[in-house]
Structure 1
Amino acid sequence: MQLFLDEPTRSFTMLDEILEPFKPKTPYGRKTIEMLSCVLASEQQFHSHWYRLERVLKQNEEFISSVERILERIPDLSHQIENGFVEISDFAKLKKFVYNFSSLYTLASSVWDLPDVDDIWKVLFHFFGDGEILQLQSEKLLALRKAHLILSDQLKKEFSRLCREINSLIGLRPNNEEFTIQAQIGKKLIDHGLAQLVKDYGERWHLRLIETEKMLQLRQSMKQLEEKMELEAEELLDEVRKQIQAHLDLLKLCEKAVTIVDIDLCRYRMYSRYNCCRPEVGNQIRVINGRFIPVLEYCEAKGYTYYPMNIEVKSGVTVLCGPNMGGKTTALKTVGAFVALFHLGFPIPSEYFSSPVFSNVRFISKGEEIGFSSFAREIRSFIRALQCHGRKLLLFDEFGTSTNPVEGEALTLAIVEHFSDSQDYVLLSTHYPRVVSAAKNVYSCGRIKNLEEEDPHRMLDYSLVPGAKHVEKIALKLAEKLGVPSEIVKKAENYSGG
């Protein structure tokens, strides 16, 4: 099965870090995010999804919190639905699921299209009573329990009578069937046939009371009742299993509904926290004042200026050029993350965002496969991306730099030419001058703002500039500011003609 995102792309776009604050409340939601199984695969799905989600986004905090509290009480029924309801604990989980889903239906059916579970609740109510707690019930079972309770009371009374007899003999009243007492007193109880020795501790003995004939008879009668109750309970559970079988499709619909509600609440939280926009389907990727959250939060923590991203990526190739630390990789991550969020039905942390619907997104990774060079790993990643079916978004980060620069540049030029008229979308960062010159759609990243700043992050303006193909050469200056000895930098300047 072809994945929308593979693991290298998921890692590169920092998707999990972006979604980390918005964890689902149910096992269903957590599994969906883990597997990324909520991908919108068509424009029709996109519009249907947002028709619903816009209702969700209009709800107030009190409503959302109430729904979250219900979701936190909904257990995972997937194993039982798949393998059957076997143990009494399975039915306890079922009742808890349906009870809380019913609460969800009452509260939120005007916002989400939720199935009505009234029919299945009637079955559970009949066999297990009202409320969330499980209590198997029938007239026969009730009569057996009542009889068992009467015998239990009689047993307690007989035990109490035995304790009074012991108290009249030795002046002490045992609290339990087993107890520790002075050996001399213990011998007296044994001699009267009221106790037996369990363990001799020398001056103290550990004894167990000898049950009376009446106590033995009561226990035997209680055991017989317990066997009857167990048999009756199993017959009742068999009947419940038969009736639940007819509602399995409904339970599966409930599971899907829980998943949708759970992930929608994650989307709501993200929308509110980051002041996101509702994305649009378009024929190009367009970002206006986009904010890549991991870098935004890093800048806020360090006191750096954050530069929102503005870019248009059309079918074919868009090239990002600029100096080291100029923001090219962050731009790639931003576009990749936004497209991933778009397909997962999430709002986008941007003033405006549009994208085509893609079959897959791939970052061309150098990977970590043992036995291959970094260049070979990059090529293998590229080949796997080419084999993906449907419209693709491909992200290249300084492709070809792990081999000799002449061939690396030639290969990158060939890729640009190959995809120039493609229906796929390629976003490629590079330092190769001929690649920059050949590309039709180019953005430059990282213009010098203040070269005298000691902190390299404050030296540059990270805004993207469309159509600018000139790359400022500041690598040696950056190297010096990052700690490379000045004598090495000066030698490098001589070699570079500076």
Structure 2
Amino acid sequence: MTSKGGKVRKRVFEFTDFNEFYQFYKPLTPYGQTHKAHMEVFHDEDIISRMLDLSDEALVFIQIDNTIADRVEYHLKNIPRLPGQSDSSDMADLFLYKRFLINFRAICRLISPDLAELMNLRFNSPDLLAELCRGGSDETFHLADCYSPELGEVRSEIRLIESKLKNLREDRINQIIVATGHDFTFNDFLVVQEGPELTMNSSLIYMEPHDRSHLIIKPVLGDEYYAIMMQREALARKESDAESEVLESLSAMIRNEEAALSNYVKAVETLDIHLARARTALEFDMTRPLIAPRGSNISVEQGRFIPQILKCSAMKTSYQPLTVSFANPIIVIHGSNMGGKTVLLKTIGFLQLLTQMGFHVPADEYRAPLFRNIHHIGETGQDYLQGLSSFGLEIFNFMNTWNSGENSDSRLYLIDEFARTTGSREATALIQAILSRFSEIGGIHCFMSTHFMELNPIESTSFYKMKGLNHTSFQEYFEKTFHGNSNDKLDDMSERIRTINRFMEFEVLPDTDRSVTSDALKIAAILGLDAETLNHAWKHLEKSS
């Protein structure tokens, strides 16, 4: 994965489960697939806008006539990767060029004029293709006699020679059958028992031992046959020389078209990736993101985190899109366990990656500035560094971004539950310090989820909370189902998670009163913690309050 002039670390893609979505983006050509594998992230608004314009045009093309779009995609599937440029091409290479040009010409004939103009889809190599098509049908290529008089002449001689050889062999085989009874019509040799008929016809049959009682026998085809065979070998050398001349002539034509072929490859890649992006946009009801001026706050309306939707669908739980207009560039989010804090961070990261990769986004509206660097601090499930604790890894990863020369004035940080494994007093101090530094430097957007809410007000920073459990309906259910009883009424973990999901409201709200909410014990009850342990926990809470 690369970034044009900036940096997006691999861990950002891991944190946002990006590949869970990316698998649905399916370019059809080798060129489109290579482009996909690079996972380029841009921060140049002109590049991104150009990519979105092309995808919009591809969307219009599909929506006007999906049948034609299907035919274009059929030809894209049949586009091969062209061989690297060299002084000469062999027949396999020439077939690839022919196949590429046939399918590219078909695409140019099918594509709309607007799309052709935007993507430079113009076929300007009729002479080269006509020459390649002299060598067989669309699906084959061979050096036909018509490619040169010399080649046609030598092959004509070869055909006459081969006819003579065939007749001579047939005559000699018939003689051998009459004399010995052995038939070499379909065999070059036979394994037979020794017999007097063989020694009596040694001028017709060559013999060598096979084992104690058997011989290997071969037909002796005669001096005339072998003399003509020598002529055939000489003609084969002439044929090879003539073929080499044809190959060199065709290779020269290809070299002369090198610039055009390079343009065709670029046009094919462009069409391929944008048709694939348009198909993905249609599949997930995606819209064009709005690129905001530098320093603007991020807003999203009905933003959907596709990987989470897929998980919810598999678990048969509901999914609630994200709608929020953030008031500042630095955002601190708190709320219930399993209340959606991490998913909110992932949603923002996911939508931002899509925007800066030139994709449409799964949202009714997503408005955000562009960032040179996008960072994630927190666990991804793939973190490991010998000798470091979870807290040590967080500090290591943070300093990796802070001290690596990437501290530009245009950065997005996604920080998930920073310092949660250390003491609350020191964790709060660290979080306060980091957010204060972000505010002082400027140009940094940050979304931080945390349980530590004893933070002082910070300039350019707003506090939000996840709405969490619907306490009225949940309390009624909780008292009825769990109070003083075993919590084994839910059959499996999936059912338990569905229960939490049913009462959890995944909405983000401004936290004006900075209240601390926790539903940990109620969620622990649903997840299977035994009633006795829960009762002890409730009593401890009552005493401490």
Aligned length: 494
Deviations 1:285-342 (A, max 9, x none): 3211111112112222322121111123466301221111111111111111111111
Question: SS of 1:336's equivalent?
Answer: helix
**Quick one: structure 1 residues 40 and 173, their matched pair in 2 at CA, closer, same or farther if it must change by over 3 Å?**
same
Q: Where does 1:384-463 land on structure 2 (aligned, <5 Å)?
A: 384-386=400-402, 387-388=405-406, 389=408, 391-420=410-439, 422-435=442-455, 438=458, 440-449=461-470, 450-451=474-475, 452=477, 455=496, 456-463=500-507
- Local SS of the residue matching 1:80: coil
Is 1:374 the equivalent of 2:390? yes
CA contact (8 A) 2:411 2:445 kept: yes
SS of the equivalent of 1:118 reads coil
Equivalent position of 2:23 in the other structure = 20
Q: Does 1:67 align with 2:72?
A: yes
> 2:264: which partner in 1?
254
| Structure 1 residue 463, shift from structure 2 partner | 2.0
Structure 1: unaligned runs, 5 residues or longer: none
1:30 is aligned to 2:40: no
1:24 and 1:62 map into 2 onto residues whose CA distance is 18
**Separation in 2, partners of 1:487, 1:437:** 41
- Alpha-carbon distance in 2 for matches of 1:477, 1:85: 74
CA RMSD of aligned residues (A): 2.8
Check conservation: 2:52, 2:360, Cα contact below 8 A: no
State yes or no: 1:464 paired with 2:473. no
Paired position in structure 1 for 2:124: 118
Q: Kindly state the Cα deviation for residue 471 of structure 1 after the two structures are TM-superposed.
A: 3.9
Alpha-carbon distance in 2 for matches of 1:181, 1:309 = 82
Say whether 1:196 aligns with 2:206.
yes
Q: Is the 8 A contact 1:190 1:197 kept in 2?
A: no
Q: Relative to 1, partners in 2 of residues 1:161 and 1:306: Cα closer, same or farther, differing over 3 Å?
A: same
- Structure 2: give runs of 5+ residues left out of the alignment: 479-489, 491-495
Which of 174, 178, 192 aligns to 2:188? It is: 178
Tell me, in whole angstroms, the C-alpha distance in 2 between the residues paired with 1:101 and 1:154.
46
1:442 touches 1:466 (CA, 8 Å); kept in 2?
A: yes
Q: CA deviation at 1:446?
A: 4.6
Give the Å deviation of 1:426.
0.9
Contact map agreement 1:444 1:471 (CA 8 A) in 2: no
Structure 2 CA distance for partners of 1:305 and 1:166, relative to 1, 3 Å: same
Work out whether residues 321 and 431 of structure 1, in 8 Å CA contact, stay in contact via their aligned partners in 2: yes
- Counterpart of 2:483 in structure 1 is none
Deviations 1:358-377 (A, max 9, x none): 22322124432334333232
Counterparts of 2:510 and 2:122 in 1: how far apart (Å)?
Answer: 54
Give the AA of the match of 1:429: S
**Which of 103, 106, 111 is equivalent to 2:106?**
103
> C-alpha displacement at 1:215, in angstroms?
2.7
Q: Contact 1:190 / 1:196 at 8 angstroms: preserved in 2? A: no
2:306 is the alignment partner of 1:293: yes
Q: Residues 192 and 217 of structure 2 are in contact (CA less than 8 Å); yes or no, is this contact kept in structure 1?
A: no
- Whether the 8 Å CA contact 1:332–1:397 is kept in 2: the answer is yes
Match for 1:356 among 354, 369, 373? 369
Shift in CA distance, 188/312, structure 1 to aligned 2, threshold 3 Å: same
Change (3 A) 1:427 1:185: farther
Structure 2 CA distance for partners of 1:180 and 1:299, relative to 1, 3 Å: same
Call closer, same or farther: CA 1:472–1:235 in 2, change over 3 Å. Answer: same
Partner residue of 2:341?
A: 328
Whichever residue aligns with residue 345 of structure 1, its letter is G
1:76 to 56, 81, 86: 81
